C-alpha cells in the first residue's frame, strides 16, 4: 500500500519551479539551496516542516545556527534580512536564502559591502555616524569588562575610522564612502561569509 511512509523523504523538497527561481535570484547553487532548505526545515517544529516554504522561523531559532551563534552581529543580521511585518526579525525561507546568498562565496563584493553597511547601520538611518561606529566597535571587541575599550581609546579609534573613511568630512560614513574603504581591503569579502 502507498502510505505516507513511502513519501517520507519528499516532503522536504522544494517544488522544482521554485528551485529554478531561487537559483536565478541568488548566488547559490542547487545543492546549496537544497541544503539550506534542509537546515531551515530543521529549525521548524515537526508539524510545520511540510510547509517550510511558507513558514516563518522565530529569530530565537535562527540564532541557534552555529554559523550565527558565534557572529557578533547576529541580531543585526536577523534584522536586516527579515521581512517580518511585525518587526520580530523572524525569517521566511526566502529571507534565509537571501542571507545565505549575500554571505556566500559567490556574492559580489559590492553586494556584500551593501549589506554590511546596513548591518552596521544600527539605527537604520542610512549613514554610519559615531554612535553606529561605537556599537560596531563594541560588537567586535566584546562587551566584557576586560576587553572593553576605555572612552579615550574608543574616541581615538572612531577618529581613525572617520579619518580614513569620511571622504567628504561630514562626520559620518555614507554607503559610497563605506564601499570605497571596503574596496581597498582585499580580505573583506572573504571574511564576510556564512557557509552552512
Q: Are residues 124 and 188 in the same domain?
A: yes
Number of structural domains found in the chain:
2
Q: Are residues 28 and 48 in the same domain?
A: yes
**Radius of gyration, CA atoms only, the chain:** 20
Last residue of a domain, one of 81, 103, 125: 103
Q: Is there a domain that residue 64 lies in?
A: yes
Last residue of a domain, one of 103, 136, 170: 103
Q: Is there a domain that residue 11 lies in?
A: no
Alpha carbons within 13 A on the beta-carbon side of 46: 1
Q: How far apart are CA 121 and CA 133, in angstroms?
A: 8
Start-to-end Cα distance in the chain: 38
Q: Are residues 73 and 92 in the same domain?
A: yes
Q: How far apart are CA 71 and CA 105, in angstroms?
A: 17
Q: Is there a domain that residue 86 lies in?
A: yes
Q: Would you state the pLDDT for residue 38?
A: 95
| CATH number for the domain that contains residue 113 | 1.10.238.10
Q: Are residues 71 and 121 in the same domain?
A: no
Strands (E), the chain: 56-57, 91-92
Q: Are residues 68 and 129 in the same domain?
A: no
Phi-psi sector, 137: left (phi>0), alpha (psi -120 to 50), beta: alpha
Q: How far apart are CA 183 and CA 161, in angstroms?
A: 15
Cell of 124: 537604520
Q: Are residues 83 and 138 in the same domain?
A: no
Domain carrying residue 53: 16-103
Q: Would you state the pLDDT for residue 148?
A: 82
Q: Would you state the pLDDT for residue 149?
A: 87
Q: Would you state the pLDDT for residue 23?
A: 96
Q: Would you state the pLDDT for residue 12?
A: 58
Query: Which parts of the chain register pLDDT below 50?
Result: 1-11
Report which of 34, 117, 37 is spatially closest to residue 77, judged by C-alpha positions: 117
Q: Is there a domain that residue 122 lies in?
A: yes
Q: Are residues 126 and 141 in the same domain?
A: yes
Q: How far apart are CA 138 and CA 147, in angstroms?
A: 9
Q: Are residues 87 and 152 in the same domain?
A: no
Q: Is there a domain that residue 8 lies in?
A: no
Q: Would you state the pLDDT for residue 78?
A: 97
Q: Are residues 82 and 38 in the same domain?
A: yes
Q: Is there a domain that residue 35 lies in?
A: yes
Q: Is there a domain that residue 5 lies in?
A: no
Q: Are residues 133 and 87 in the same domain?
A: no
Q: Are residues 22 and 73 in the same domain?
A: yes
Q: Are residues 126 and 89 in the same domain?
A: no
Last residue of a domain, one of 42, 72, 103: 103
Q: Is there a domain that residue 34 lies in?
A: yes
Contacts of 49 (CB under 8 A, 6+ apart): 11, 12, 41, 42
Amino acid at each position: 500500500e502507498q502510505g505516507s511512509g513511502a513519501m517520507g523523504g519528499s516532503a522536504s523538497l522544494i517544488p522544482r519551479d521554485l528551485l529554478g527561481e531561487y537559483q536565478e535570484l541568488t548566488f547559490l547553487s542547487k545543492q546549496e539551496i537544497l541544503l539550506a532548505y534542509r537546515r531551515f526545515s530543521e529549525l521548524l517544529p515537526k508539524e510545520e516542516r511540510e510547509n517550510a516554504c511558507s513558514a516563518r522561523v522565530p529569530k530565537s531559532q535562527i540564532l541557534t545556527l552555529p554559523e550565527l551563534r558565534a557572529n557578533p552581529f547576529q541580531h543585526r543580521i536577523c534584522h536586516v534580512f527579515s521581512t517580518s511585518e511585525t518587526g520580530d526579525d523572524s525569517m521566511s525561507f526566502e529571507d534565509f536564502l537571501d542571507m545565505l546568498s549575500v554571505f556566500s562565496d559567490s556574492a559580489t563584493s559590492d553586494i556584500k559591502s551593501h549589506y554590511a553597511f546596513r548591518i552596521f547601520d544600527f539605527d537604520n538611518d542610512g549613514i554610519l555616524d559615531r554612535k553606529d561606529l561605537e556599537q560596531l566597535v563594541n560588537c567586535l571587541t566584546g562587551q566584557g569588562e576586560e576587553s572593553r575599550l576605555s572612552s579615550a581609546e574608543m574616541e581615538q579609534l572612531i577618529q581613525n575610522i572617520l579619518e580614513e573613511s569620511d571622504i567628504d568630512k561630514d562626520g559620518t560614513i555614507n554607503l559610497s564612502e563605506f564601499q570605497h574603504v571596503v574596496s581597498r581591503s582585499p580580505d573583506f569579502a572573504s571574511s564576510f561569509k556564512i557557509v552552512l
